[in-house]
Homo-oligomer: A and B are copies of this chain.
Amino acid sequence: MIYLDNAATSGRKPEEVYLACDHALRECSGNPGRSGHAASLAAGQIVEEARRMCAAFFHAEKASEISFTNNTTTALNTAILGVVRPGQHIITSSLEHNSVSRPLEYLRSLGSDVTILPASVDTGIDPEDVRRAIRPDTALVVLTHISNVTGTVNDIRAAGMICREKGIPFLVDAAQSAGARPIDVREDYIDLLAFPGHKGLLGPQGTGGLYIREGITVNPLTRGGTGSFSELPEQPERLPDRFESGTLNVPGLAGLAAGIRFLRAAGCEEIEARESSLRERLYAGLSEIPGVKIYAPGPGRPAGCVLSFTIRGIDPSEISAILDSSFDIAVRAGLHCAPYAHRMLGTIGSGGTVRVSPNHFSTPEEIDSFLDAVRQIAEAARR
């Protein structure tokens, strides 16, 4: 199979990730932070190692600023619902995923006002629009770093600088960027960063996390046993305990740490360069096929390694079904859980788009095979 659906989950993980999960499951199957015996301590070491690696990867000041969640969605919900009080104002963009827009719609149903900044496919939002939208009751600015539909990049550093200047908490959805593009929570003025473990960081599904800058007040979404301060009737204040109730996914976190270790050894810049080159090849090839329309930043623009396209005369879901059944190529069709973005693209009523997302494990030959398949499908559609 030619797997070009890495925006959903990285299909192939490094061998070290598989081995780390298996080792943790077999050899370190204690409950971390719960007991003092060797198995519990070994599990605890896995968790703290993964935490230190995530903190270092995103340039957090302290490991305790990283709380682990089961996925990006939980991290985003924790941040959004933990920071905004119903009725307060929120600023976001038209590029957001349902994991941002649905919690915001919920807050809207409780009386909050949500400003959705328009974005261009080429350059994302205008950071100055953030400044203009800030009101005295603005409680949060939340932006996706890279659109999961078009690969459009929001200038988070410019937006972050404005938020910091105005004293508004700034939350970044790094679902598509973590591991694929440099993120420095300090230089990018990020207060809250939600990230997946199973996409660019190459860990297993069931992992993710939330960076919470020290000093940012967030109410926890869940409360329960933390293995610490057990006598307290209330949820402890200490981070990361406050946001990590219940048993963590220890084998998953072992795999996540192995994934980050792989990225560091391979070199994040090399990975980014490789993905850029694959993405350019993809864009250039698609733009030469008659009947194909691309939804992605144009040549020379910053872009994530994901783009969308349609073919005149044939349904996106049919294209992906043919790619799967006749060419053994995995892509995704539809709205990709991002109705805001499809409304912006004008594709919401017509079955969305076909999304293609290689990663650094993909080869130029795979891109060429994909392009050849699309050429055949487009040709058949023209007849």
In the complex, whether A204 has a CB less than 8 A from a CB of chain B is yes
**Given A99-B224, A225-B99, A234-B105: A8 touches B36 (CB 8 Å cut-off):** no
Q: Which residue from chain B places its CB closest to the CB of A251 in the assembled complex?
A: B204
Within 8 A of B (CB), among A311-333: 317, 320-321, 323-324, 328-333
Query: Does A18 lie at the interface of the complex (its beta carbon under 8 Å from any beta carbon of B)?
Result: yes
A182, CB-defined interface residue at 8 Å: no
Chain B residues, Cβ within 8 Å of A206: 70, 206-207, 247-252
Q: Is A286 an interface residue (CB 8 A)?
A: no
**Residues in B neighbouring A333, C-beta threshold 8 A:** 35-36
Q: Is A230 in the interface zone, CB < 8 Å from B?
A: yes
Identify which of B5, B29, B103, B329 contacts A40 (C-beta below 8 A). Answer: B5
A97 at the interface (CB under 8 A from B): yes
Q: Digit string of A239-258 for contact with B (CB within 8 Å is 1, else 0)?
A: 00000011111111001000
B230 in contact with A338 (CB, 8 Å): yes
Determine the chain B residues whose CB is within 8 A of the CB of A77 once the complex forms.
221-224, 245
Selected contact of A25 from candidates B196, B204, B231, CB within 8 Å = B204
Most buried by B among A1, A99, A196, A249: A249
Q: Enumerate chain B residues within 8 angstroms of A17, measured Cβ to Cβ.
A: 25
Residue ID in chain B nearest A12 by CB atoms: B29
Interface residues of A in 25-69 (CB under 8 A from B): 25-26, 29-31, 34-40, 69
In the complex, whether A213 has a CB less than 8 A from a CB of chain B is no
Asked if A89 is at the interface of the complex by the 8 Å CB criterion, the answer is no
Measured in the bound complex, the distance between the Cα atoms of B206 and A323 in whole Å is 34
Q: Is B31 within 8 A of A251, CB to CB? A: no
Q: Which B residues lie within 8 Å of A40 (CB)?
A: 5, 8, 330, 332
The CA-CA distance from A111 to B12 in the complex, in Å, is 50
Please, which residues of chain B bring their CB within 8 A of the CB of A181? Answer: none
The answer to whether the Cβ of A73 comes within 8 Å of any Cβ in the partner chain is yes
Q: How far is the CB of A194 from chain B (nearest CB, A)?
A: 10
Residues of B within 8 A of A223 (CB): 77, 98-99, 102-103, 105-106
- Contact between A222 and B74 (Cβ–Cβ < 8 Å)? yes
Known: A22-B22, A77-B222. A332 touches B34 (CB 8 A): yes
Which residue of chain B lies nearest to A348 when distances are taken between CB atoms in the complex? B231
- Closest B residue by C-beta to A332: B35
Within 8 Å of chain B (Cβ to Cβ): is A13?
yes
User: Closest Cβ of chain B: how far from A16's Cβ, in Å?
Assistant: 12
Q: Are B98 and A230 in contact (CB under 8 A)?
A: yes
List the B side residues contacting A205 at CB < 8 Å: 29, 31, 247-252
Question: A224 touching B36 by the CB < 8 A rule?
Answer: no
Known: A18-B22, A234-B106. A74 touches B330 (CB 8 A): no
A9 contacts B by Cβ under 8 Å:
yes
Taking a contact as CB atoms closer than 8 A, the residue among B3, B18, B233 that contacts A339 in the complex is B233
Residues of B within 8 A of A338 (CB): 230
List, sorted by A's number, 12 A–B pairs whose CB atoms are closer than 8 Å. A8-B34, A9-B30, A9-B31, A25-B255, A37-B332, A71-B246, A77-B224, A103-B223, A205-B247, A205-B251, A230-B336, A252-B252
- The 4 A-B pairs at the shortest CB distance, nearest first, are namely A206-B249, A73-B246, A225-B337, A99-B224
Q: Which residues of A contact B (CB under 8 A)?
A: 1, 3, 5, 8-13, 17-18, 21-22, 25-26, 29-31, 34-40, 69-74, 76-77, 97-103, 105-106, 109, 196, 198, 204-208, 221-227, 230-235, 245-252, 255, 317, 320-321, 323-324, 328-339, 342, 348, 352
